[in-house]
Amino acid sequence: MLEYQRDFLQFAIQTGVLRFGQFTLKSGRQSPYFFNAGLFNTGGGLARLGRFYAQAIVADALPFDVLFGPAYKGIPLAAATAIALAERHGRDVPYAFNRKEAKDHGEGGDLIGAPLHGRVLIIDDVITAGTSVRESVAIIRAQGAEPAGVVIALDRQERGSDDRSAVEQVRHDQGLPVAAIATLDDLLAFLEETPQADADLEAVRRYRAEFGTVG
Ligand code: OMP
């Protein structure tokens, strides 16, 4: 685990974005942890989150020309990532996002920001079923551009509709690289280093053993 990944997990726990307890997931599973990216809801929190996304992009050396934030949750994420890349990494990259409602007056269209061209990197919070990624890929291709990959905050590394996780399905079925600021394995390593986290660690370990991807 890299230093920024440890910082990210600590920050997510401090802000209540990452919580431990009993949560029902979209899949119906009972999870001992839940990641709610909507709770990075202050200016300072969003700025910091953008810096973590930028670090993940730089660490994975993902080549791209434009950032794309799918509505709604991806919009502030892509904006914050673009700011962090400009301010911290000397890369002033274009970014764009979509609106969910079609608009037929004013500027028209359902894309806002930079034109989608070349390789487009999708910025999202989590991949649960992969629906949002498929929609983004269709939007990008409709503009004659190519999806370059997806960056998410946390990869839960759990089996989806088949033995693979939703992230693995995107990687193999859509041929897109997926980078995460942190994964469930990073979270386990983090909890192992954290005193007084034994109960959470045990619960997350059990969950990983039952529902996690192999390997
Ligand atoms: P979108 O925000 O529409 O992409 O949906 C994300 C889905 O993932 C929501 O239904 C969330 O409840 C769910 N989710 C998380 O946001 N964080 C988690 O840790 C786990 C889930 C989930 O339900 O699997």
Which of 19, 22, 25, 75 to mutate for ligand 1's pocket (most ligand atoms within 8 Å of CB)?
25
Distances (CA, A) of 111 to 64, 106, 143: 18, 13, 10
Using one digit for the tens of pLDDT, what is the confidence trace for 111-137? 999 999 999 999 999 998 888 899 999
Q: Which long-range contacts (CB under 8 A, 24 or more apart) does 202-206 make?
A: 203/20, 203/32, 203/33, 204/20, 204/32, 204/33, 206/32
Q: What is the ipTM of this complex?
A: 0.93
Ligand 1 atom nearest to 156, measured from its CA: 19
What is the identity of the amino acid at 140? I
Residue 73 and residue 81 in contact, taking contact as beta carbons nearer than 8 Å: no
Tell me the C-alpha distance between 191 and 83, whole Å: 31
pLDDT band at 105 (very low <50, low <70, confident <90, very high): low
142 CB within 6 A, ligand 1: no
